[in-house]
A and B are shown apart, each in its own frame.
Chain A
Amino acid sequence: MRKKAIVMTAFLIILVGCGTKDTRNIIEYQFREGTKGLEMQLLQNSPPPKVYENSDILISAEISNLGAYDIENSYLALGIEDEYMEVRDWNGYIIKEKGTGSKRNTFGIQGKSQLMPEGQKSAITIRAKTRTLEQQTETHTSVVALTACYKYKTILEQEVCIDPDVYNLRNEKKVCTVTPISLSSQGAPVAVVKIEPLMLDSEDSQQARPQFMIYIRNVGNGEVYSQSIMEDACGSSAISKDNINMVSIKANVAGRGLQCTPQQVHLKDKEGIVKCSMEQGVSKAGNAFSSPLVVEIDYGYSFTVSRSVEIRRLGRQ
């Protein structure tokens, strides 16, 4: 009897264990999508299209991080004509140095994530004042330009096929095939647009060496800089050509680092190619398998929004 009860209990456990899992409440959000990073636009009537001399004006911008990377320690530069306008102070949740009369400031803003699927959005306000127009000047049109210079990273996680059968000699069914992969965006203004995997013979005849040609493109509406010079990008000091259109890249497959050449990739006509290879190959004796390729591209990014403001003379003698 006791034996019978044990058998029944075990059967019930098996029955319960074979039930289906309820996945209705779990949604995995693909936040690494889109070609946008930081977005910035001047708000309507701020600055107003027409303003009088000696008047306070507000320059307001809506800033949102629509990419999949958090921006930290990045810069905003306000381009105004000193002769016609002066900055009073900066305000906004994301602004680091509030209250300063400088034309430059630092900021940080969170990007898209599982917890914040739309990214952070915030408004900044710069209080400025127009100066007195000179004699005989009735109106003057001045440009207000806000430049953002921010550090960003593109992260790509893509399943790739590793097939040690370099020459496809094995007559067997494989779980995957090595083919080029076209991509569009990864939630950043610089994107990996194509991966061309190759399986090469290694010096060690027992090993096959995976290699990936990674195609990168600036798909945003700004310019790419080296991440190291983002303060200068929004400043006035010299910038070397070597720091423009330059990104740094690293990649790994299943946690094994790849050797990328070059590591600093120059984007020519907004595009660049880098070759990443696995130093130590995989055994030719093994079967084909899929594995995640992770590519990380670090860079700085910059763009400007601007608006014309007509400064009018107040009636005076």
Chain B
Amino acid sequence: SIWGVLRAKTFDKDITIRVNCSADRGTPKEVQATKVVPSQPYTVSMLDEQDVDCTFNRNTFEIGSHTVSLFVKFDFQTNSYQKVYMVDKNRAVALTREGIDILDHYGIRDKNPKAVYTSGPIMIGMDIRPSPLRLTQGTEEVFTLGITLKNQWTGKVVRINEVQIILPEYVQMQSLNCGGHEFTANGNTYTLTTPLSGFTSYKTIRCQVAVPGGTVQHILGETPISTQYFKASSKYVYEFEKRASISVKPTREQELTRATAPQITMGDIQMYRNDQKPANLLAVGTDKETKPEDLKWTIISQTNSLVASCIISRTELVCSSYNTEGTAQITLQVSDGINKVTKTFRIIVSDAKPGSNPSDPATPNQPGGTTPNPAECSVQNVINCDSSIYKRKFPDRADAPECISYCDYYVRCELLDQSYSCQCSLEECDSLGADCRKGMCPNQYCCTLDCCDDCSCPEGVCNRCDSCMWAADFGMCVET
């Protein structure tokens, strides 16, 4: 069972509330509560508090996380009005041309009145321009009245049963069709003929309203400025939902019979100095009961972090070697939610690959200047450039397209997301006279001209600004 307290307040008419509960609402696995208290609609007159209790059958839920929703539906009405000033057009034009603010001149303080609406789940905004409305004796003037129903609460409008627009006397709708919404007229009251569908954000109705020329004298009356009110009201069904997460755990018996531990198939990684290799964790971890993408990966420990380090980025383990030869040990853990398994592997960093050191003057710093050796591109290290996330840096490199990201130091996949715009390649940095180093974007590199200012140099002194080399999570200073 889940339970809660429903608090409701109304200032005007009574409201009738219907309560319901379900789990995993909106999914194919949605389940209705078997018992809901109160089971019948109940009425709130002023201020009321009601205990709500939802009961689900035993064994309704599968083991794991679920969302239980308590939702209430009720009918509600919101009213709104918009104050509008009206004035003779010639008078307005004449005064304006003389630099006289007509509203100031006639003592109007509220010069841009906003629509006033009753409190409730939705607001009704209204707008009609210009202010003041300018009318001409003997000529019909047409204005656009915009009415916006906007959801103010966190629930949703299930259905709009009625929209009524009440125009000032002598003002009329030019057409009973307002942008596809049909209205019927009864005097100055215009009512929507068919209910509108629900919404979660807002809905707008725009109507052309006209002031016939013959009625201008009546509507303006005896004084220079006439104040009139456009009104609108809406009756609708509103649904308010409160969600709670529940976790269904297996019984002891279920737990014992359940689930074998996941497995990690991960061998040692051979790398050159200043190299980077990603490994697809979806291919490395397996579990009988759990999908690969639901496995949870953690790096438990890393040794010799001056040689290499690894981070987990989405479904990849990305390892970077530095400018030092040696071996680092990485311990990786995978969990299926119940069982955890760890695996330790080595990163063996050997001498730099020919042509991969950007500071090597004998090596051309050109994209495509080096051809990846397919022999070095083992299948397990292939980056799969997902086109929805990445673009290829050098799409014309058809010679070894899957390997370029790690076989060729200069070429890698770039994230499409603009937030990763700091990604750079070494040749870009060279052209700027800057280094390519870790930036603010996770696992990305950026060009920096004042590297030494930004680098933390735990092991050395920066002699020159361009002496910082890109490293893992911090700038590592080396003397050049």
Q: Which residues of A contact B (CB under 8 A)?
A: 77-83, 102-104, 134-137, 141, 143, 145-147, 223, 233-241, 243-245, 269, 302-306, 308
Q: Are B79 and A305 in contact (CB under 8 A)?
A: no
- Bound: A211/B365 CA distance, A: 91
- Closest A residue to B135 by CB, please name it: A236
- Bound: A308/B110 CA distance, A: 10
Interface 1/0 per residue, B195-222 and A, CB below 8 Å: 0000000000000000000000100111
Q: A135-B79, A238-B88 are contacts. A102–B222 as well, Cβ < 8 Å? A: yes
B108 contacts across to A, CB distance below 8 A: 143, 145, 306
B137 contacts across to A, CB distance below 8 A: 237-238
Interface residues of B in 266-292 (CB under 8 A from A): none
Q: Are A82 and B90 in contact (CB under 8 A)?
A: no
Q: Contacting B217 at CB < 8 Å: which of A223, A236, A240, A244? A: A236
- Closest A residue to B96 by CB, please name it: A241
- Closest B residue to A144 by CB, please name it: B107
Residue of A77, A81, A238, A245 ringed by the most chain B CB atoms within 10 A: A238
Q: Chain B's nearest CB lies how many Å from the CB of A266? A: 9
Interface 1/0 per residue, B227-240 and A, CB below 8 Å: 11100000000000
- Closest B residue to A149 by CB, please name it: B224
Q: Are B226 and A236 in contact (CB under 8 A)?
A: yes
- Bound: A83/B167 CA distance, A: 12
A306 contacts across to B, CB distance below 8 A: 107-109
- Bound: A238/B97 CA distance, A: 14
Q: Are B106 and A145 in contact (CB under 8 A)?
A: yes
Q: Contacting A136 at CB < 8 Å: which of B90, B109, B118, B222? A: B118
Q: Chain A's nearest CB lies how many Å from the CB of B76? A: 12
Q: Are A103 and B88 in contact (CB under 8 A)?
A: no
Q: Does B100 reach chain A (CB closer than 8 Å)?
A: yes
The bracket for how many chain B residues form the interface is 35 or more
- Bound: A182/B297 CA distance, A: 92
Q: Are B222 and A103 in contact (CB under 8 A)?
A: yes
Q: Does B51 reach chain A (CB closer than 8 Å)?
A: no
Q: Are A238 and B227 in contact (CB under 8 A)?
A: no
- Closest B residue to A147 by CB, please name it: B106
B79 contacts across to A, CB distance below 8 A: 134-136
Q: Chain A's nearest CB lies how many Å from the CB of B218? A: 10
- Closest A residue to B11 by CB, please name it: A136
- Bound: A126/B7 CA distance, A: 48
Residue of A79, A134, A137 ringed by the most chain B CB atoms within 10 A: A79
Q: Are B88 and A237 in contact (CB under 8 A)?
A: yes
Interface residues of B in 428-453 (CB under 8 A from A): none
Q: Does B28 reach chain A (CB closer than 8 Å)?
A: no
A143 contacts across to B, CB distance below 8 A: 107-110, 227
Interface residues of B in 87-106 (CB under 8 A from A): 87-91, 93-95, 97-100, 105-106
Q: Are A135 and B12 in contact (CB under 8 A)?
A: yes
List 6 contacting pairs A-B, 8 Å CB cutoff, sorted by A.
A82-B226, A233-B224, A234-B223, A236-B220, A244-B94, A305-B107
- Bound: A137/B83 CA distance, A: 14
- Bound: A269/B99 CA distance, A: 8
- Bound: A245/B96 CA distance, A: 12
Q: Are A236 and B227 in contact (CB under 8 A)?
A: no
B12 contacts across to A, CB distance below 8 A: 135-136
Q: Chain A's nearest CB lies how many Å from the CB of B118? A: 4
Q: Contacting A147 at CB < 8 Å: which of B87, B224, B229? A: B224
- Closest B residue to A267 by CB, please name it: B98
Q: Chain B's nearest CB lies how many Å from the CB of A157? A: 30
Q: A143-B109, A236-B88, A306-B109 are contacts. A241–B222 as well, Cβ < 8 Å? A: no
- Closest B residue to A103 by CB, please name it: B222
B109 contacts across to A, CB distance below 8 A: 143, 306, 308
- Bound: A78/B221 CA distance, A: 11
Q: Chain A's nearest CB lies how many Å from the CB of B464? A: 67
B91 contacts across to A, CB distance below 8 A: 237-239
Interface 1/0 per residue, B104-126 and A, CB below 8 Å: 01111110000000100000000
A77 contacts across to B, CB distance below 8 A: 222-224
A240 contacts across to B, CB distance below 8 A: 90, 94
New contact pairs (15) apart from A77-B224, A136-B118, A302-B105, CB-CB < 8 Å: A77-B223, A79-B106, A103-B223, A134-B79, A136-B12, A145-B107, A147-B223, A223-B95, A236-B87, A236-B88, A236-B223, A239-B90, A240-B90, A245-B98, A308-B109
A239 contacts across to B, CB distance below 8 A: 88, 90-91, 94-95
A135 contacts across to B, CB distance below 8 A: 12, 79
B89 contacts across to A, CB distance below 8 A: 238
- Bound: A303/B223 CA distance, A: 13
- Closest B residue to A306 by CB, please name it: B107
Residue of A104, A235, A243 ringed by the most chain B CB atoms within 10 A: A235
- Bound: A217/B99 CA distance, A: 16
Q: Chain A's nearest CB lies how many Å from the CB of B12? A: 5
**A-B pairs with lowest CB-CB distance, top 4:** A306-B107, A145-B107, A238-B90, A304-B107
Q: Are B221 and A236 in contact (CB under 8 A)?
A: yes
- Closest A residue to B87 by CB, please name it: A236
- Closest B residue to A241 by CB, please name it: B94
Q: A136-B118, A145-B108 are contacts. A235–B223 as well, Cβ < 8 Å? A: yes
A104 contacts across to B, CB distance below 8 A: 222-223
Q: Are B221 and A103 in contact (CB under 8 A)?
A: yes
Q: Are B223 and A223 in contact (CB under 8 A)?
A: no
Q: Does B225 reach chain A (CB closer than 8 Å)?
A: yes
Q: Are A79 and B107 in contact (CB under 8 A)?
A: yes
B110 contacts across to A, CB distance below 8 A: 141, 143
Residue of A80, A136, A235, A303 ringed by the most chain B CB atoms within 10 A: A136
- Bound: A305/B94 CA distance, A: 21
- Bound: A104/B220 CA distance, A: 13
Q: Chain A's nearest CB lies how many Å from the CB of B265? A: 69
Q: Chain B's nearest CB lies how many Å from the CB of A24? A: 49
B229 contacts across to A, CB distance below 8 A: 81, 83
- Closest B residue to A77 by CB, please name it: B223
- Bound: A245/B79 CA distance, A: 44
A303 contacts across to B, CB distance below 8 A: 105
Q: Are A79 and B224 in contact (CB under 8 A)?
A: yes
Q: Chain A's nearest CB lies how many Å from the CB of B268? A: 75
- Bound: A147/B107 CA distance, A: 8
- Bound: A244/B227 CA distance, A: 23
Q: Chain A's nearest CB lies how many Å from the CB of B102? A: 10
- Bound: A136/B98 CA distance, A: 42
Q: Chain B's nearest CB lies how many Å from the CB of A136? A: 4
- Closest B residue to A242 by CB, please name it: B94
Q: Are B100 and A79 in contact (CB under 8 A)?
A: no
- Closest A residue to B79 by CB, please name it: A136
